[in-house]
Amino acid sequence: MDHEGKEYPRNHWIRSDDAPRALDAYLEQQGKAYSRVKNDFVTELLGNLSGKRFLDYGCGGGMFTVYAARQGAAEVVGVDALESVLNTARYFAAREGVLSACSFIRSDSFPKTLTPRFDVVLMKDVIEHVPEDGDLLRRAAAALVPGGVLVLSTQNSLSLNFLIQGTYRRHVLGEKEWFGWDETHLRFYTPISLSSALRGAGFEPVAWRSAYIIPYRLPRLPGSKRQFLRIDALSWIDRALGGMFPYNRLGWNIIVKAQSSELVKQRVPLWPLVAEGASEFPLAPGAEHA
């Protein structure tokens, strides 16, 4: 089954050429309870970025690119597949006064020429979009210093929401290719399958978090004009339990911090290679940063 070529609809902010309006839509999305909890866990696992070399692969509208620059990261690089997305991220960085601290590269895949050794790589809600996930992880490992950190988030089929919503969509409605809330997703993971993929690429998972342990975006009530009924107060369950075993592996979204192999010894300069990559992949990447 060929999943390649899945695209967002024309009215999605990701495909908008109006950067201010796209940023408003992006930040509204990131301001919802589910995203706030997830972003807080990502921030926690990233740790102190001051003085670090940071790569945000699938940077979307630039939330964590801007965050890293604000944290005083030594270098900040954002990669995404769509020029429209990177225009939004650049606009956000400029609005926040950190554009000079950020570099952006457009690429449909992990750029082959992007081989500096970063201290931290973030891939937030990216891997489920990528046909060759093993290759993506291996390239990420090659881009890290010995013992460098990858923080990755994705949707989890070992979750209550998958049991409820997935059963309804796949078995009641017959939508066998339903892979979650985003129509461009290609697969689900479980903590076991994700750990296996990470170890196969030379990573060792060291910490887990999860969000949306108990569903709080519910079908709308009869007669309601809203698309969903949101009980955002239930997000306290994520904050209370999302860092504790086994709940940190049971949310709809799982976030893992993984350490690269200590066998990687060489560290190469960053900026010449970024310049080379920028010429090969005209600035501005491409998965959704939800």
The domain segmentation of the chain, as residue ranges, is 13-280
Helix (H) or strand (E) holding 229: strand 228-230
Q: For residue range 130-140, what is the model confidence (pLDDT) as tens digits?
A: 888 999 999 99
- Would you state the structure tokens that stand for residue 177, as one six-digit string? 């290719």
pTM above 0.75, yes or no: yes
- Does residue 38 have a pLDDT over 60? yes
Is the model more confident about 68 or about 285?
Answer: 68
| pLDDT score at 9 | 64
pLDDT given for residue 232 in this prediction? 83
pLDDT tens per residue, range 199-244: 999 999 999 999 999 998 766 555 656 666 678 888 999 999 999 9
CA distance 151 to 17: 29
Give pLDDT tens digits for 158-204: 999 999 888 887 888 888 888 877 788 889 999 999 999 999 999 99
Rounded to whole angstroms, the Cα distance separating 217 from 231 reads: 6
Cα–Cα dist 105/279, whole Å = 9
pLDDT tens string 248-290: 999 999 999 999 976 544 444 444 444 334 433 333 334 544 4
Q: Which residue has the higher pLDDT, 12 or 179?
A: 179
At residue 116, the 3 state secondary structure works out as coil
Q: May I ask the CATH architecture of the domain 13-280?
A: 3-Layer(aba) Sandwich (3.40)
DSSP states along 163-224:
IIIIHIIIIIS--TT--SSSTT----B-HHHHHHHHHHTTEEEEEEEEE-SS--EEEPPTT-
Residue 151 scores a pLDDT above 80: yes
pLDDT in tens, 91-130: 999 999 999 999 999 988 887 766 668 999 999 999 998 8
